[in-house]
Amino acid sequence: MPRMTQPKIDTSLKTWDEIKTTTCYMCACRCGIKVYLKDGTVKYIEGNRDHPVNKGVICGKGASGIMQHYSPARLSKPMLRVGERGAGEFREIEWEEALTLATTWLKKVRAEDPKRLAFFTGRDQSQGLTGWWATQFGTPNYAAHGGFCSVNMAAAGLYTFGGSFWEFGEPDWKHTKYFLLFGVAEDHASNPIKIGLGKLKERGVKIVSINPVRTGYSAIADEWIGIRPGTDGLFAGALIHELLRNQKIDLDYLARYTNAAWLVIRNPGGADDGTFARNANGEPLIYDAVIGRPLSAHRADTSPKLVGEVILVDGRRAVPSFMLVAERFLADDYSPAKVAEACGIPADTIRRIATELARTAFEEELCLNIGWRDWAGRIHDKMIGRPVSMYAMRGISAHSNGFQTCRTLHLLQIILGTIDVPGGFRYRPPFPKPAPPGIKPAGKPGQVKPNTALPGPPLGFVAAPEDLLIDAEGTPQRIDKAYSWEAPLAAHGMMHTVIANAAKRDPYGIDVLFLYMANMSWNSAMNVTETTGHLTAKDEKTGDYVIPHIIYSDAYASEMVHYADLILPDTTYLERWDCISLLDRPISEADGPADAIRQPVTEPDRDVRPFQTVLLDLGARLGLTGMTNEDGTPRYPGGYEDYIVNHERSPGVGPLAGWRGKEGVFHGRGEPNPKQLERYIENGCHWFYELPDHVKYYRHANRDYLEWATSFGFIGKPEPIVFQLYLEPLQKFRLAALGHGAIVPPPVHRERILTYFDPLPGWYEPIEESLRDKTEYPLHAITQRPMAMYHSWGSQNAWLRQILGRNWLYLARSRGEAMGLQDGDWVHVTSATSRIKVQVKLMDGVNPHTVWTWNAIGKRSGAWALTPDAPEAKKGFLLNHLIAELLPERDGGYRYSNSDPVTGQAAWYDLRVRIEKAEDEPQMSAPQFPVLTGFKGVAGRRRRV
Amino acid sequence: MHPAYSVILFTTASGAGYGLLALLGLVGFNHGPASSLWFGAVAIVIALGLITLGLLSSTFHLGRPERAWRAFSQWRSSWLSREGIASVITFVPALLFGALWLGFIAKPQWIGLAGLVTAGMCAVTVFCTAKIYSTLTTIRQWHHKLTVPVYLAFALATGAVLLMAIASVFGLYQIFQAGLAVVALILTLVLKYLYWRQIDAEPRTRTIEAATGLARAGEKVRQWEVPHTAKNFIMNEMGYAVARKHAVKLRRLVMILLLLTILVTVLTMPMPGLAIPLSIIAFLFATAAAAAERWLFFAEAQHVVSLFYGAERA
Amino acid sequence: MTSLPAQVPGQKKLGLVIDLDTCVGCQACATSCKEWNTQGYSAPLNDRNAYGASPEGTWLNRIHGYEVKAAEDEQSRIVHFPRSCLHCEEPACVTVCPTGASYKRAEDGIVLVNPETCIGCKLCSWACPYGAREYDYDDGVMKKCTLCVDRIYNKNFAEEDRIPACVKACPTGARHFGDLGDAESKVSRLVAERQGYDLLPEMGYKPVNKYLPPRKRSNEKLKAASAESEIKSDGKSRVEDFFRWADRLLSR
């Protein structure tokens, strides 16, 4: 037999006939992608090299987008419930019938009381539109998923330094020499963080991860600090303690860029106690050490004192706010020895980290020879950097002390002088914004009127009790109780409380619950059993559902779809127009603003419509002003893409910032450009405006930047952004709780406001945890976001579910062995609320007082077009079942939501549990719910490449 | 390793077939033209039938059986290819031998040579089969000096018992046949026993630490997460691990079955009148022993890839 | 063909260098590999029971996670460990192949399976110590990493994109592709610098792909820093000390 020759193969296969660019939607990161198509079929998706977010790379989810696009769980036609709610009995209807019905329900609400519509939009990437639609409709009851995701951190950052973690800023990956990473979920800035970590690795930069669990990014950290959940603020406070004690802080930076020198009035019992001393113009005062008297803090030519009591002209006593900061953190409460046990970190380690931070910041100072002009017009010939950077996410936000913890982290960054300096933490435009941003939430009594738009957006930044959305009795005006005494600074709303509140008609009942892309009957709900009960609750007298109408739009057959009355099927992300707008969560880089579009790369093969187009259609049918012409015809007959191009939020400012003006030559501001989308497509569906070097740092005080940002409409005035170490708005709430001012909280809320509205950063024990018996519930229980899954929808993905088709409960090997547990054993996990049964695995890299699992892997049987015996349902589980949506009753019977008391952020990680070996029952996770039967999946469209 | 029934059937059936065929060849070599045409016809048909059954069964194991012919091409490097070629080539002398035995070719002087060549090719084929396994350095239990002898011994022993059984049926039972079977069975038992002892005694030098290379400073390595929670081919095929307790029981069963085969075979000597039932019983015992042995051969084999999937040692 | 091609001096040996110090286990390389190869040279890669109780597909690259603990350390480390074909210089998977479907390319050393001639006997998977070959139950043939042979020479791609899909995808830059036969190549230098290693070298397969070990986490310098003892002072004097220090002339 002859020896065979090596076969000739075609190494230049061309399996596609077309490549289209668009934007990924496999998580919240929003990378640029190139989609390879053959005869209109998606063949391959890769990262777009030119895109500012991902620079060509793609993640595990993004590369599985094909299977999301061809998922059998795609909805295919509008549906109307015909049986009992939740029973999964629907009939297919035509779009006209669906839209007519929705219009009928909504029109009635709008004519009677617009706030009886609760419109909440989950993992929406079109909040620029949806928020505006709610405003036009006239309901204050609007928010996206920020309230159960990150609002306490977003608020902490925006109120403190006009920026934030998440998408609002990033470490200076190129220059930083020391990196602290606190509890990061990887679904926001997913690829930028990975790219950044890769860069740090190349340069040998030390990465310190503070996280109870050592997976993912923590796995490659040079040092892992397996902190006890909820104590990050204590740890950061101890670092601050050490830096202050060793006098390793940047006093000049504090004096120049923060309110450290602003004088705080000391008048215990007085209505002005703890407020800033101000001059006649309302400008805060500092004490000038040279002139020897108070001067306006807005003057540039001063020599402010940071310590020492001052007697004001009117005889009142005052101290620079920094003195209060220093006193707090120099106290024993924050000494490493004191916090070590609570944090589970040896005091020596804390001291060492503090020393390393100080060394890097002050002995490895960085200097870029780039001249710049500060806010007062003074020229600086170089940019000094303190190359320490930090980044934090859900590990901080999912605790009820997250707002203050995050404030403490920012304080740590600021005393080291690391905000927006070379090597530090950089803003991503349109940030920085004034701290806090000036926009206030609309929806006060009298602002919600039949058939009338709200006078402003439903979401904004409360700075004093006057800004709250409450009536004279202090009753919340929003269904989610955001901006009430319960959660005054709820900048993103509180989606997680809507269903329970609506079902209890507390503060009032609603007529229509309109949800988009939010799996509120499953993984986005605390206490799932109760939540599904709320969704199906009936009025005892009338026999009608307490929530009369539920409209739901989604592309896929999630658990929530089964509880809807009217289902509006959305397209997949490859079938639609979208804009990733600067008016929403931006995708900007620190080097400049960026936005992007999605373009349909393939046509839907089902009777589905993009939700945003449907929303504009409904708006026109309802006659909403912004969505109709004067003659009553639709303003955007071309759908969402028409809106993207032609809508103007203010003159010259629209959803997209690139190629504006008739000729497409303006950026930022300019008339609508009818060819704008073409220009985006030509440019790979994104726009990135790189800033010149002299405005890349110190932007909170960089005049050229501030002027440019004003011209772009990012900020109102080119004024410096002064970091608020001491947060006067919180003090105003405290004063109100003490009975000062016109608007004071009802007695039931006073103690809570006094306790938690501390104008100084600091730490308190997470609330739910503080109420539980720690002997009975000795363990913390938290989740981590797996890298290859974005919340619940990854499980319908044929590839991703092979990687992670079920989860285990992980616990420390030492603890597991002590309990006689082995990998694969079944245990009962019991919280004060509920009990679940799951399988365990032991590992080393977890805090010994903590158990954890992967988030949102567990599925309800029959959902997502999986067979009912899918491992996601039979072995997988959610911790959500264990989490109470309300805290235990207080005196007077009042129950607060299980949230951060300042911002209303859902406190997912405050959970305490105990575990016991389960031996007697079937090898299946519990609880099991009745199998969902409404959707069998899109038949016959299984992809065979 | 996953004990695939097709492969177990293939190696045991063809093993017995080749053993029988080889012995027939030797009988032919020894005795010249055969006395019993029918015995010869039936025995040769059974031998070739078993071989063919085995070969067919092995093609069921293929993903693309229609391309099986391609397997004859790589005799330079592949024992599987060599086995395929040897098995096919064996049919030539075997058929010739059969034709001579049955007188279809009237050249009785050639039968001795044809028998010898047939026997030789049978041995070569079984040798090649065994070599497929024994050359796999990835599986310690196979990459062993006794793998080939055990294969050959099993083929010989099951072939000998079968020969005795067929001969008995045709009234041609001779003590010599039983003696041959007993010798082959004892040899098999001893070899297999030694094999087990040796693989048990061998140090399991390959570790998860060495495989991953993550323990160059003496660290301990543990699997933390499987790559996929779903199953995969590698785990199906190579992740099979039989429980030690179960394996010990099965080993004992194999040895008992072999001993029973020997006992029953020995019984035929004083009781030639019961040769037919006894030799058939002996054959059933031998077949069961071979199948169980072959199942264990796979089930006890641990592939080095299992280290990447969390096994501490291999 | 299952005999290996003769090695020539300066033999090109294309392969991957995988940095275990940088890999975060994000699965980008695994799913990018799957999506490229299910439509490229290896197309399609099967997924059986994709939405059922036991989904099971063919993947050419899988990411393991290990916990690594030194006796003297308090903590374990998690190392993410991508595993795919190593394109060995002595690939027994090739020499055992009865049909010649498995072969090692003479020009660049890539080990490939010819899907037209593979009979699906699976022997190559038994011969591979690294679990690199997977059987495609639908096609009845073996599938394996092709080093994206249909990308790295593909004239339809820009030069910079002529790299394997996994390398292109990797967000942390933990995967490198190049000629390990050329001592001066970027990948060879990386291997030399970081003491890249072979998997199971004692088995004699001579893998071309190399792994860069996790770097030693040296806290020695820093341990010294932690020895600085806490100044024993009460809260009050600490505050006073600090205020004395902070009370200096500053300008805005």
For residue A698 the two structure tokens come to: 């110190």
Is the torsion defined by CA of B194, B196, B198, B200 positive or negative? negative
The pLDDT value recorded for residue A589 is 95
Q: Which residue has the tokens 């570790």?
A: B207
**For residue C8, is pLDDT > 90?**
no
- C87 CB-near residues (< 8 Å, 6+ apart): C13, C14, C15, C104, C109, C110, C111, C145, C147, C207, C208, C209
Residues of chain A neighbouring B227 (CB-CB closer than 8 A): 803
**Span of A258-267, A383-392, B147-156, C231-240 with lowest mean pLDDT:** C231-240
Residues of chain B neighbouring C1 (CB-CB closer than 8 A): 74
Domain-wise residue ranges, chain A: 154-430, 726-759, 767-917
Q: From CA A152, how far away is CA A149, in angstroms rounded?
A: 9
Q: Chain B within 8 Å of A816 (Cβ-Cβ)?
A: no
Domain assignment of residue B88, yes or no = yes
Nearest to A749 by CA among A476, A423, A530, A384: A476
Whichever domain contains B146, its CATH number is 1.20.1630.10
Q: From CA A268, how far away is CA A477, in angstroms rounded?
A: 32
**For residue C233, is pLDDT > 70?**
no
The pLDDT value recorded for residue A322 is 97
Q: Which chains touch C (3 or more CB pairs under 8 A)?
A: A, B
Is there a cis peptide before residue A432, judged by omega within 30 degrees of 0? yes
For residue A13, give the chain C residue with the closest CA: C150
Domain assignment of residue C1, yes or no = no
Q: Chain B within 8 Å of C127 (Cβ-Cβ)?
A: yes
The pLDDT value recorded for residue A939 is 52
Domain assignment of residue B207, yes or no = yes
CATH superfamily of A154-430: Dimethylsulfoxide Reductase, domain 2 (3.40.228.10)
* Chain C from 3 to 22: CB within 8 A of any B CB: 3, 20
Q: Using CB atoms, pick whichever of B62, B211, B223 lies closest to residue C200.
A: B211
Q: Using CB atoms, pick whichever of B75, B224, B229 lies closest to residue A871.
A: B229
Domain assignment of residue C249, yes or no = no
Q: What count of residues does chain B have?
A: 314
Domain assignment of residue B182, yes or no = yes
Q: Using CB atoms, pick whichever of C41, C153, C230 lies closest to residue A351.
A: C230
Q: Using CB atoms, pick whichever of A60, A191, A202 lies closest to residue C31.
A: A60
Q: For chain A, what is the mean pLDDT?
A: 95
CA distance C200 to chain A (A): 24
**Span of A37-41, B146-150, B238-242, B300-304 with lowest mean pLDDT:** B238-242
The pLDDT value recorded for residue A23 is 98
Per-residue pLDDT of C78-99, as tens digits, reads 999 999 999 999 999 999 999 9
The pLDDT value recorded for residue B29 is 82
For residue B298, give the chain C residue with the closest CA: C126
For residue C83, give the chain B residue with the closest CA: B308
Q: Using CB atoms, pick whichever of C59, C79, C120 lies closest to residue B232.
A: C59
Residues of chain B neighbouring C119 (CB-CB closer than 8 A): 62-65, 67-68, 70-71
Q: Chain C within 8 Å of A239 (Cβ-Cβ)?
A: no
Residues of chain A neighbouring B229 (CB-CB closer than 8 A): 802-806, 871
Nearest to A26 by CA among A240, A186, A266: A186
CA distance C63 to chain A (A): 9
pTM of the model: 0.96
Do the Cβ atoms of B77 and C95 come within 8 Å?
Answer: yes
**For residue C225, is pLDDT > 90?**
no
**For residue A944, is pLDDT > 50?**
no
Per-residue pLDDT of A605-617, as tens digits, reads 999 999 999 999 9
Q: How far is CA A419 from each of CA A157, A160, A391, A698, A722, rounded to the nearest angstrom? A: 11, 11, 12, 8, 12
Segments forming the whole domain that contains residue C42: 14-220
The pLDDT value recorded for residue A615 is 98
Residues of chain B neighbouring A802 (CB-CB closer than 8 A): 228-230
Q: From CA B21, how far away is CA B98, in angstroms rounded?
A: 10
Q: For chain B, what is the mean pLDDT?
A: 93
**Greater model confidence, A138 or A167:** A138
Rg (alpha carbons) of chain B, rounded to whole number: 22
- B179 CB-near residues (< 8 Å, 6+ apart): B269
**For residue C170, is pLDDT > 70?**
yes
Q: Calculate the CA dihedral of residues B276, B280, B286, B288 and round it to 10 degrees.
A: -170
CA distance C213 to chain B (A): 7
Q: Chain A within 8 Å of B236 (Cβ-Cβ)?
A: no
**For residue A940, is pLDDT > 60?**
no
Whichever domain contains C214, its CATH number is 3.30.70.20
Do the Cβ atoms of A245 and C54 come within 8 Å?
Answer: no
**For residue C232, is pLDDT > 70?**
no
The pLDDT value recorded for residue B34 is 60
Do A154-430 and A767-917 share a fold? Answer: no
- A190 CB-near residues (< 8 Å, 6+ apart): A27, A28, A29, A31, A59, A61, A787, C171
Segments forming the whole domain that contains residue B141: 5-307
Residues of chain C neighbouring B218 (CB-CB closer than 8 A): 70-71
User: What is the 3-state secondary structure of A507-554?
Assistant: CCCCCEEEEECCCCCCCCCCCHHHHHHHHHCECCCCCCECCCEEEEEE
Residues of chain C neighbouring B223 (CB-CB closer than 8 A): 64-67
Q: For chain C, what is the mean pLDDT?
A: 92
Per-residue pLDDT of A665-723, as tens digits, reads 999 999 999 999 999 999 999 999 999 999 999 999 999 999 999 999 999 999 999 99
CA distance B70 to chain A (A): 10
Q: Chain A within 8 Å of C81 (Cβ-Cβ)?
A: no
Q: What is the mean pLDDT of residues A394-399?
A: 94
Q: From CA B167, how far away is CA B161, in angstroms rounded?
A: 10
Q: What is the mean pLDDT of residues A436-443?
A: 96
In which element (H, E) is residue B91 found? Answer: helix B79-101
Chain C interface mutation, best of A1, A3, A10, A13, highest count of C Cβ atoms under 10 Å: A13
Angle between helices B111-134 and B5-31 (to 10 degrees): 150
Per-residue pLDDT of B4-29, as tens digits, reads 888 888 889 999 999 999 999 998 88
CA distance A843 to chain B (A): 7
CA angle A107, A112, A116 (to 5 degrees): 80
Q: How confident is the model at residue C2 (pLDDT cuts 50, 70, 90)?
A: low
Q: Chain A within 8 Å of C160 (Cβ-Cβ)?
A: yes
Q: What is the mean pLDDT of residues A732-750?
A: 96
Q: Which residues, listed in sequence order, are joined to residue A319 by a DSSP beta bridge?
A: A264
For residue B231, give the chain C residue with the closest CA: C56
Residue A845, classed as helix, strand or coil, is coil
The pLDDT value recorded for residue B32 is 66
Q: Chain B within 8 Å of C97 (Cβ-Cβ)?
A: yes
Q: Chain A within 8 Å of C127 (Cβ-Cβ)?
A: no
Do the Cβ atoms of B78 and C2 come within 8 Å?
Answer: yes
In which element (H, E) is residue A676 found? Answer: helix A676-682
Structurally, chain C folds into a number of domains equal to 1
Question: Model ipTM?
Answer: 0.95
Do the Cβ atoms of C22 and A870 come within 8 Å?
Answer: no
Residue A272, classed as helix, strand or coil, is coil
The number of angstroms, rounded, from the C-alpha of A561 to the middle of its chain's C-alpha atoms is 24
Per-residue pLDDT of A71-127, as tens digits, reads 999 999 999 999 999 999 999 999 999 999 999 999 999 999 999 999 999 889 999
Q: What is the mean pLDDT of residues A294-307?
A: 94
**For residue A8, is pLDDT > 80?**
yes
**For residue A851, is pLDDT > 80?**
yes
Residues of chain B neighbouring C54 (CB-CB closer than 8 A): 230-231
The pLDDT value recorded for residue C191 is 98
In our burial notation (b when 16+ CB lie closer than 10 A, e otherwise), range A317-340 reads ebbbbbbbbbbbbbbebbbbebbb
Do the Cβ atoms of B229 and A1 come within 8 Å?
Answer: no
Do the Cβ atoms of C55 and B230 come within 8 Å?
Answer: yes
Residues of chain A neighbouring B230 (CB-CB closer than 8 A): 801-803, 805
CA distance B207 to chain A (A): 20
For residue A872, give the chain B residue with the closest CA: B229
**For residue A189, is pLDDT > 90?**
no
**Greater model confidence, A497 or C229:** A497
For residue B302, give the chain C residue with the closest CA: C126
The pLDDT value recorded for residue C40 is 92
Structurally, chain B folds into a number of domains equal to 1
> Could you name the CATH architecture of A767-917?
Beta Barrel (2.40)
Residues of chain A neighbouring C34 (CB-CB closer than 8 A): 63-64, 799
Question: Quick check: B144 and B51 in contact, CB under 8 A?
Answer: no
Q: Using CB atoms, pick whichever of A4, A805, A845 lies closest to residue B230.
A: A805
Residues of chain C neighbouring A250 (CB-CB closer than 8 A): none
Residues of chain C neighbouring B68 (CB-CB closer than 8 A): 119
Own/partner pairs, A732-741, CB within 8 angstroms, 24+ separation: A732/A275, A732/A463, A732/A464, A732/A465, A733/A464, A733/A465, A733/A488, A733/A757, A734/A274, A734/A758, A734/A759, A735/A271, A735/A273, A735/A274, A735/A275, A736/A465, A738/A269, A740/A271, A741/A271, A741/A465
Using DSSP, how many helices (H) and how many strands (E) does chain A show?
25, 34
For residue B71, give the chain A residue with the closest CA: A1
Q: Chain A within 8 Å of C67 (Cβ-Cβ)?
A: yes
**Greater model confidence, A128 or C231:** A128
Residues of chain A neighbouring C219 (CB-CB closer than 8 A): 223
Backbone dihedral angles phi then psi of residue A857, each to the nearest 5 degrees: -85, -40
Residue A18, classed as helix, strand or coil, is strand
Instruction: Enumerate the H helices of A821-869 as residue ranges.
Output: none
Q: How confident is the model at residue A564 (pLDDT cuts 50, 70, 90)?
A: very high
